[in-house]
Amino acid sequence: MTTLCIDTATEHGMVVVARDDGSTAAARWRSAGRHAENLFGYIESALADAGASREELALIGVSIGPGKFTSLRVGLATAKGLALGLGLPIVGVSSLRVLARSIEGDRRLVRVPVMNAYRGDVFVGAYVVDGDAIEEVVAPSSGHPDQVLERIRDAAGDRPLAMRGEGATPDALIAEVRYVHRTEGPADLASLEPQYLRPSDARLPDEPLSTDHSS
């Protein structure tokens, strides 16, 4: 099937189109917060490079986090809009699992993706990849780097560790989307939501803002 994958979890945006014959085309960019302005252009560019049209698509995949709040919402809203408009199944995938697949190594290696969670914290998890299967060693979490990485070292035991920061590969994104689609099936379009792992920095005021302008 021809699959469109979208990843805007971080400032490293990526769109990948994978065709039935195994060929892929990708558009990758870096944006501090302008994914919404350029995303459709990158989708059209990747489709053109793959020699595919929207009508040929059979599956939409999208990273659902963790990641930047606004960036995640932009990618997910775009993916859901395309899935709804084209009548296609959609799959949501973990940004950390995709990043883990981008780390090269054998099946004994514990792969540790690390993403910026801001405020001095990181998003992190630990995984073992065996072929196209992936096993969670330590569940995704956020916290101070020293604390979360100590938990991972304890869980890994004597197995070797390899870490990688942000910037997943196109092959890793495609592999995770297809693996989740095969093992879990498509997601429910209406209930598919971002996985933030931590609350937003935005806060409502403790007291309601006054609307009385008489004074």
Give the domain 2-184 fold.
Nucleotidyltransferase; domain 5 (3.30.420)
Contact 108, 162 (CB under 8 A): no
Domain ranges of the chain: 2-184
Residues 6+ apart with CB under 8 A from 79: 6, 60, 61, 62, 90
pLDDT of residue 202: 44
| Residues of the chain falling short of pLDDT 50 | 202-205, 209-211, 214-215
Q: What pTM, to 2 d.p., does this model score?
A: 0.89
pLDDT of residue 203: 46
